[in-house]
Amino acid sequence: MAKLKTLEDYREEIGQCVKCGCCRAHCPAFGAVKHEGRVARGKIALADALLKGEVEMEDRFLLDMSQCLLCGSC
Ligand code: SF4
Ligand code: SF4
């Protein structure tokens, strides 16, 4: 059986975001509300903060992470 991945398994990918913000132009979730937590850059920043223990999985965190259409545009 395949091992479930953890956030730690994505540490390298998380570190590859250069924070250019180009994903903002292509994200329908961000386009609807103009909130950084809804776009890939913001979600990656949240994941990074979670890895570093700077945030917890509280309601706002979970809301931002869940608001994604998985469209792949970013
Ligand atoms: S996720 Fe967004 S901000 Fe990060 S590198 Fe990709 S386009 Fe740039
Ligand atoms: S998959 Fe689509 S909705 Fe989700 S962050 Fe990327 S562009 Fe936005």
What is the rounded radius of gyration, in angstroms, for the C-alpha atoms of the chain?
A: 13
Q: What is the pLDDT of residue 8?
A: 94
pTM (2 d.p.): 0.92
Kindly state whether residue 1 falls inside one of the protein's structural domains: no
Kindly state whether residue 4 falls inside one of the protein's structural domains: no
Kindly state whether residue 16 falls inside one of the protein's structural domains: no
Q: What is the pLDDT of residue 38?
A: 94
Which parts of the chain register pLDDT below 70?
Answer: none
Ligand 2 contact, 47 CB (< 6 A) = no
Kindly state whether residue 60 falls inside one of the protein's structural domains: yes
Kindly state whether residue 3 falls inside one of the protein's structural domains: no
Ligand 2 contact, 28 CB (< 6 A) = yes
The count of structural domains within the chain is: 1
Domain that holds residue 53: 23-74
Start-to-end C-alpha separation, the chain: 30
Residue 71 Cα to ligand 2 midpoint, Å, equals 6
Kindly state whether residue 39 falls inside one of the protein's structural domains: yes
Ligand 2 contact, 24 CB (< 6 A) = no
Beta strands in the chain (DSSP E): none
Q: What is the pLDDT of residue 2?
A: 82
Q: What is the pLDDT of residue 5?
A: 93
